[in-house]
Amino acid sequence: KEEIVKKARDIFTMLSPNNKVVWDDRGNIGKRYRYQDEIGTPFCITVDYESLENDTVTVRDRDTMEQKRVKIEDLDSVIN
C-alpha cells in the first residue's frame, strides 16, 4: 500500500499546478465516489496495484459513470 500512496501523491503533485485536485482516502471506494459526485467533482482518479505495474490509473467520469484505464502521462489531456 505504501507504494500506491507514493504513486498517488506523485500524480497529485503532477496535476496540482494546472488543475483543482482533492486528496480523498477516506472509507471505501464507493463512498468516495458518492461523496465526490455530491460535491460535483467531474473526474475521479483511482490508483491501484495495476498502476504500479503499468503506469495507468482508472479515471471515472461523473456524468457518464464511465471508467477507463489511462496512462499517467496522458492524464492532464484526458481531464482537461
> Do 44 and 32 touch, CB atoms closer than 8 A?
yes
Q: Which domain holds residue 64?
A: 2-79
For residue 27, what pLDDT is reported? 87
d(CA 57, CA 60): 10
Q: Spell out the per-residue pLDDT of the chain, length 80, in tens.
A: 899 999 999 999 999 999 999 999 988 999 999 999 999 999 999 999 999 999 999 999 999 999 999 999 999 999 99
Read off the CATH number of the domain in which 46 is found. Answer: 3.40.50.800
Number of structural domains, the chain? 1
Prediction pTM value: 0.91
Q: Can you spell out the DSSP letters for 23-63? A: ----S-HHHHHHHHHHHT-SEEEE--HHHHHHSEEEEEETT
Q: Which helix (H) or strand (E) holds 69?
A: strand 67-71
